[in-house]
Structure 1
Amino acid sequence: MKTRQLGTHGPQVSLLGLGCMGMSEFYGAGDEKESIATLERALELGITFWDTSDAYGPHTNEELLGRTLAGRRDQVFLATKFGIVRDPNDPTKRGISGRPEYVRQSVEGSLRRLKTDVIDLYYQHRVDQTVPIEETIGAMARLVEEGKVRYLGLSEASAESIRKAVSVHPITALQSEYSLWTRDPETTGTLAACREHGIALVAYSPLGRGFLTGAITRPEDFAEDDYRRLNPRFVGENFQKNVAIVDKVKTFAADKGCTPGQLALAWVLAKGEDIIPIPGTKRRTYLDENAAAVDVVLSAAEVAEIDAIFPPDSAAGERYQANMMGFINA
């Protein structure tokens, strides 16, 4: 596996990361045995930039990684997040907290569940609009001073929040959704702000929550507990309109001699040396397919052609349902 530098002042990490969320929640029933096998396969492939959060499960995803990494923690660059507060009685309810005391409480819980003494990259999962971000970053910076955290990150933060954050402590990475059908970092100015301050863009859902692989043909195929059943891009007329995007991906991929998913990942990788995609999967088969995307090289002309086929507003529907839209780009 090739590597890429995580921001101007960050370390080298695997060119592809691994999003671990789906192993524990949101994408239907989990299979712990297969999830662990997938994590072990990732190590074999050199995919060692792993992403989790205390919100996934909640907590159970961190616990899964902690068990898997026992005795081999030093083989992985481990990223986790805090800030989304889940209601233990109603998993559909969630809040945001960036209070300094909550930062402290959260990191101690993550360290315990991950069975580690230090977190390599600690993100604020969502910006708390009721707490000045300078206060939250100040609390996170103290964790760096104490050796509990190595690098700091933000997730789904606006350009304004990024600039406020870096005035307190260097930010190594911004995690935001970025793919052929989600170009928000380009259009909202967040990618420009990242480049202004030497911050890497860590692209989550680079496969459009699986849609860009071409494997999703009917919304009815989702399990009852798969949250994509409620996602605006996966329902009704939006679904049918977005299928047309996938058809174009399939055609271009066939001409390139790769799978649609590999083309989608290759496009993200080609958009800048400061961008690192973290496709999520819970199965070894898809992990192997994703890993091969690093060998799909797109020329500047091909990237321009793909950009023309998929302009920033090409996807139909908001990327999150209404009750979650308030948690992004704060």
Structure 2
Amino acid sequence: MEVSQERAAGIVEWVRGRGRILIVTHDNPDPDSIAAAVALRHLLLIQTGQNAVIGFGGIIGRRENLNMVMELEIVLTPISTLELDQFDVVCMVDTQPGTGNNSYPADRKVHLVIDHHPPRAELLQVDWVDVREAYGASATILYEYLCSQGIRLNTRLATGLFYAIKSETQDLGREWSRADREAYLRLLPLSNNRILFRIARPQVPGNYFSIFKRAIENSRIYGPVLVFNLFQIDNPDMVAELADFMLRHEGVIYVLGMGWYQGGEVISLRTIEPEAKLGVVAREILRDLGSAGGHGMMAGGQVKPMAEDEHSQRELELMITRRFIKALDVEPTPGVALVGKD
């Protein structure tokens, strides 16, 4: 907490009086990115009187994430609709310059980055950097900032931060730290349980289940590795959601999921192996194809541009599958369909 107090105070004083502020999340923002952005906006508003705009790219596609935004009345603005020249301070949360997973132009200056992903070389050009790889959620860092500055958390803010840590660490079951656990336990009694229930258990349309069907029918198992291809999708978040779901298959240790969305291939990696270093694996398998990053047990990436036709996507699937199995040092085995054809 002492580190957070020093950094939060320094950031506040640096930002004070510098003009309009933009906070950028990663594309298709998840609860951690959203909650961290809201917490940073609250910190700056309370301490400096300066309000900030939260900008994002892509869509908020996953129904839980959409419910979170609606239930907590969070205002987010598509970055494509913003006149970027009007902002004097640009912050990034849960993402970094050069990752390829945010829509802020790469040639524009970024002043502040708060993240829990591995640091990139582009951070050398950033004025203020707080990257904590050991933390399970960026929301935990911002929670510490608020506490260190003596800022009271209202129910909505506490609920958002709690849900972010809960979802990012899967209830402290995946890649959590002592700081995450402490924040989780302190935020729980401050949160609104009814809102949490509505966020976590949304009703979904019928085509949601057809995507599960498609994933199951297009899954193949290579020993401890399961690979699925959703082909064309209208919600990029479904790749990560299905990757988490498929990891429940008995005997599967690693999952590679993919789907085509708006001119690019979305890739998601998951594992139950704590020492897998999937962020490194993702960068290796997509080294000459696209961008990638992540943590030890989950990672993702994208290939752009990518042809829409099924043949091209199947070729990419085979190439990435071979690289994935090799990078994991898993003995190659013939792929077996998850389910037989009717």
TM-score, structure 1 as length reference: 0.29
Q: Tell which has more relative contact order, 1 or 2 (C-alpha 8 A, sep 6+).
A: 1
Structure having the higher Rg: 2
Q: TM-score when scaled to structure 2?
A: 0.28
